[in-house]
């Protein structure tokens, strides 16, 4: 019993890290929690005396479980309407608990998650585990039953895709000023002001859920995006409140208790390069659970 209690205690210390790994792989909090719980079950059935680096062992186990979940999900998502977007991590006060803060600190931004979702499951695993969480290629190779060199090539391919995507400005204060300007223009119905804050090649993705009849492919270009924003802004813009979405400036429409939507902004060069709107209520349900 003492050994089991020690093992449980060690696992709980690693839980925030494992949750961050699984979320970075899967993009959904509920699936990440399932992956972490499955890792505990596998640990509970194992012989812990033979595990040298428990945190490293758990990280690779979560990676293997997440890879299987990604492969299964890829087949189910072929006919998803509109854009499939990750579940957002939303931070809006200093009251968030230490586990939430740890996941937020270790997690990756919404813009990067969108790019990762275009990769194959093997590319995503190789990049996330190696480039984000510093897992050696030898360990990743064992997960996928590949050679370390092939895993290195997968990570390199993924890295090129990530580096080719717009790189967000890192200054959160600058991001907030741009988001505030966007929201002010939307509230005021000011088309020209919106054009000033939008990058000419801005992309607007909307995840309204699998059953929404309003779902459509992403919009591209400042003019079409501005017109789409102003078509709905009068009804919803006044409900927006500033939050951090995956560590970057964003907005929550409604409240945590009654969320309507969350929007993440990718700010590049002081302009909005991408808007990612999540209105699927299944992906916002976790916001009502206070940390």
Label residue 1 by pLDDT band (50, 70, 90). Answer: low
> Measured between alpha carbons, how far is 125 from 74 in angstroms, rounded to an integer?
14
Label residue 53 by pLDDT band (50, 70, 90). Answer: confident
Per domain, the residue ranges of the chain are 2-164, 172-288
From residue 179, how far is each of 142, 173, 237 by CA, in Å? 44, 10, 12
Q: Quote the pTM value.
A: 0.86
**Percent share of the chain, pLDDT over 70:** 90
The residue with greater pLDDT, 4 or 125, is: 125
Residue 242 CA from chain centroid, whole number: 18
* pLDDT at residue 45, rounded to an integer: 81
Is the per-residue pLDDT at 211 higher than 80? no
**Triad 108, 244, 59: Cα angle to 5°:** 25
Measured on CA atoms in the order 142, 143, 144, 150, is the torsion positive or negative? Answer: negative
DSSP 20-50: HHHHHHHS-HHHHHHHHHHHHHHHHHS-GGG
The pair of structure tokens assigned to 55 is: 């945190």
* pLDDT at residue 73, rounded to an integer: 84
Instruction: Calculate mean pLDDT across residues 227-233.
Output: 90
pLDDT tens digits along 159-197? 999 999 988 998 999 999 999 999 999 999 999 999 999
172-288 CATH fold:
Nuclear Transport Factor 2; Chain: A, (3.10.450)
Cβ neighbourhood burial of 278 (10 Å; 0-12, 13-18, 19+): buried
pLDDT tens digits along 71-122? 988 766 666 777 899 999 998 744 444 444 444 444 578 999 999 999 999 9
* pLDDT at residue 49, rounded to an integer: 64
* pLDDT at residue 79, rounded to an integer: 67
* pLDDT at residue 77, rounded to an integer: 67
pLDDT tens digits along 256-289? 889 999 999 999 999 999 999 999 999 999 887 6
Q: Does the domain formed by 2-164 have CATH 1.10.287?
A: no
Residue-wise burial string across 189-205, b where 16 or more C-beta atoms lie within 10 A, e elsewhere: ebeebbeebbbeebbbb
> Measured between alpha carbons, how far is 17 from 11 in angstroms, rounded to an integer?
10
Task: Give, as one character, the DSSP assignment of residue 89.
Answer: P
């Amino acid at each position: 019993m003492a050994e089991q209690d020690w093992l449980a205690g060690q696992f709980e210390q690693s839980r925030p890290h494992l949750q961050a790994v699984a979320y970075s792989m899967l993009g959904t909090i509920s699936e990440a929690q399932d992956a972490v719980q499955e890792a505990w079950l596998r640990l509970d059935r194992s012989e812990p005396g033979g595990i040298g680096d428990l945190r490293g062992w758990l990280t690779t186990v979560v990676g293997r479980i997440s890879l299987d979940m990604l492969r299964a999900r890829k087949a189910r998502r072929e006919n998803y309407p509109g854009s499939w977007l990750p579940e957002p991590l939303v931070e809006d006060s200093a009251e968030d608990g230490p586990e939430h803060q740890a996941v937020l600190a270790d997690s990756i931004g919404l813009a990067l998650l969108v790019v990762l979702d275009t990769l194959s499951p093997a590319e995503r695993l190789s990049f996330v585990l190696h480039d984000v969480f510093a897992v050696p290629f030898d360990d990743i190779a064992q997960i996928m039953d590949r050679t370390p060199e092939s895993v290195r090539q997968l990570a390199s391919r993924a890295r090129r895709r990530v580096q080719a995507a717009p790189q967000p400005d890192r200054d959160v204060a600058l991001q907030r000023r741009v988001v505030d300007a966007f929201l002010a223009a939307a509230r005021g119905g000011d088309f020209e002001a919106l054009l000033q804050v939008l990058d000419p090649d801005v992309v607007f993705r909307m995840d309204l859920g699998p059953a929404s009849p309003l779902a459509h492919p992403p919009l591209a270009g400042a003019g079409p995006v501005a017109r789409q924003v102003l078509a709905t802004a009068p009804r919803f813009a006044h409900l927006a409140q500033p939050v951090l979405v995956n560590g970057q400036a964003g907005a929550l429409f409604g409240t945590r208790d009654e969320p309507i939507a969350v929007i993440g902004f990718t700010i590049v060069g002081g302009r909005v390069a991408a808007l990612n709107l999540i209105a699927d209520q299944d992906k916002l349900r976790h916001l009502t659970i206070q940390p």
